Every structure is written in structure tokens, then in C-alpha cells.
Amino acid sequence: MSSQDERARQQLIDLAAEFYDQFASGEVPEMTLPTRTKSNIEYDEDSGVWVYGDRTSTRSANSVQGARKLLKATYTIDFLARQLEEGRSSTLRELYYLSESWDADEAAFSSQDESNQLVEDLEIVSEVTREDFHMRPEESGATLMGPLELREQTRRGEREIHCQEDVGEGGYQIPNNPDTIDFLDHDIDFILCVETGGMRDRLVENGFDTEHNALIVHLKGQPARATRRITKRLHDELDLPVVVFTDGDPWSYRIYGSVAYGSIKSAHLSEYLATPEARFIGIQPEDIVEYDLPTDPLADSDVNALESELDDPRFMTDYWEEQIELQLDIGKKAEQQALASRGLDFVTDEYLPTRLAEMGVL
């Protein structure tokens, strides 16, 4: 076992030992967790990301339902500890199905939501990430293209890969656990995270990564944890600016938000996943007006989402209030590929260089 695996295993065993001690001293075993709702996330000035506040919820064995939850937790801890000992890994979905094979029928999960939530609970209480438990997501990481040379530690040995010279046009596929990667060398000036595959391909075809020494990270919609993690590591370890380029609609602002500030669901991991210095490059509502982009009208669900963002602590800045209010006012949204209405090169010759200069990145 690596020292990281050994530490993860120990944290899990400690948790089980705590239940044991509670039993031994005649207490009803329980597990206390931060309450995981929007009203209980708050801005942490030190780390610059949103974290859980002080409100907590308790899972106690003082009811049959609560006792069953702790039983499932101990079986899961046992499985994860053995998985770490054996140097194996599994998916969240496999854990759900595996629970059917456990000897206590009561320990089987009744839905995958339940097993997913338990793994998140264990992450929070043990302060070990799911990746360090060797739990893989279903969602796959996205791709990188740019002047970066890295070394990935795989089960089949080390691989040294240059993310322009050693990959096809599809780019380098980010592995499920990007902490298996070391950055060896680079010539990157900034990281450009891109929401859609169509725009990612446009930037690669137009050679934007070579012309501007940009590392293009394809977010593929709402980014997987692996994608957010590698973005954060690139920022922190290589000291590089990060900009996020998405569609101009409320769902895409949340994609930016999850890169920059973390999400409610994974606020316990903000310091591991979020890049608070990441900045939003567009499509901004003001771009829709300025460049007269082709648009769609806001649907009711878009309006609701924008209004709920005005109440979201992650978007409570002058910049976002102004942009969101402008968007509610014009009643329109635009996709990043709508820039093609001004020609296929407009995005790389005009739009991005202008925005990057405004933001002081270029």
C-alpha cells in the first residue's frame, strides 16, 4: 500500500473504531455531519471557496432506520478498507450492486442514491476524498490539449505524454484520478476551460493552443470531478491563470461556478476541487448585446434559474448581478458556437483575444 492508501485506510478504520468505542461506553452510536443545503454553505475567506457552515445533522442508531444507516456505513468501510489493502478500485455503481452480496441483508443499499450519499458522508467525516478510497466515478474525465508534458502513473507502469505531440486530435484523456499525474514541463501561458466539444474542436482546429500557449481543457458540460481537480492542480502547481468559456445561459454560469467555487453537493471538497481564481470569459449577456449574437428566448426555467443565482452566494458579486440582471432584461440566451454567425475565425481572431486582453491575461 502507498502511504496515501495507508492513510485513507487508517481514517476509515478510525471511523469504525469510533462507533465501537461509542458502543463500548454504552452510548448510542452516531455520526455528525454538516447540513448539506444551500443555506448552510458560506464563503471561507482564507481559502476563497464556499464551504459548509456550522449547522450539522446527526445520523444516530436511536431508530431502526438510523441503525441501518450505520450498519451500511460499517459494511462499506470494511469493503473500502479491503479494497485499499488489495490495491483495487471500483465504481459507485459497483458498490451499490456489491452490497447485495454482503452477508447481512439489512446492509444492502436500497438505491444508488443511498450508496452515493453514504460515500459522500464518509468523505466528509474521514476527510479523505472518494478518489483516495479508490472509488471511480461513472462520469469520465474530459481531455487536455496544449503545451504540457506530464507523467501518468498507470497500473501498467509510467507513461510520459506531451499533450500536443503525443496525442491525436482528440487530445489527452484525463484519467479518473488525476492525482496519478505529475507535471513534467510546460510552455503554457493560461488555461482555457471550454464547455462544449464543438468549441473545443474549433479552438484546436484554429491552432489557438499553439498560437497563444493555451492549455485547452474540455469541460464536456458540467465537469467531472477529475476535470475540476486537474484544473485546480494546474492552477496551483504551475501558477497559471484559468479562464472558463461557456454558453451564455444560467446553466453554464453554474458550470463556471462549479469550477471556481465548488458545488453544494461537494462543498466538503472545495479546497480539493475548486479554483477560486478561475475567471469567467463568456459568453456574457453583454456580449449578446454587443455582438448581436443569434439567441434563443429565455424559457421559464431559465428565468427561474437566473433568479435563483441572484440568491446564490457564489454569484453575489457586482459583476454577476449586473450580467444576470441584463440577461433577465433582454430575455435572451446564446450559445458559444453562436459566435460562428460572424465567421468561423471570429472566436479565435477577435472574441477571445479581446476578452483576454480586457481581463489582463494576454
**Which active-site residues does the annotation give?**
97
Q: Which of 66, 41, 129 is nearest to 315 (CA)?
A: 41
Query: Is residue 343 involved in binding a copy of itself (CB under 8 A)?
Result: yes
Q: Which residue has the cell 466539444?
A: 197
Using CB under 8 A as the binding rule, whether residue 103 contacts a copy of itself is answered as no
Half-sphere exposure of 41 (CA within 13 A, CB side): 22
Per-residue contact track with a copy of itself, 222 to 261, x per CB under 8 A? ----------------------------------------
Sheet holding 181-186, edge to edge: 157-162, 148-154, 181-186
For residue 255, say if its preceding peptide bond is cis, omega within 30 degrees of 0. Answer: no
Q: Which is nearer to a copy of itself, 40 or 91 (CB)?
A: 91
Of 78, 201, 271, 349, the residue at the interface with a copy of itself (CB under 8 A) is 201
Q: How far apart are CA 175 and CA 170, in angstroms?
A: 14
- CA-CA distance, 262 to 270, in Å (whole number)? 5
In a 13 Å sphere around the CA of 166, the CA atoms on its Cβ side amount to 12
Query: Rule CB under 8 A: which of 278-297 touch a copy of itself?
Result: 294
Pick the binder of a copy of itself from 25, 45, 168, 290 (CB under 8 A). 168
What Å distances lie between residue 118 and 56, 103, 115, 355, CA to CA? 16, 19, 5, 43
* Footprint (CB under 8 A) of a copy of itself, residues 139-158: 139-141, 143, 152, 154-156
Taking the least distance from each CB to a copy of itself, the nearer of 93 and 279 is 93
DSSP-derived pairing of the beta strands 90-91 and 214-218:
unpaired
**Closest separation in Å from C-beta 160 to a copy of itself:** 9
* Interaction site with a copy of itself (CB under 8 A): 88-91, 93-94, 97-98, 100-101, 136, 138-141, 143, 152, 154-156, 159, 161, 164-176, 180-181, 196-198, 201-202, 205, 207, 210, 220, 294, 335, 337-344
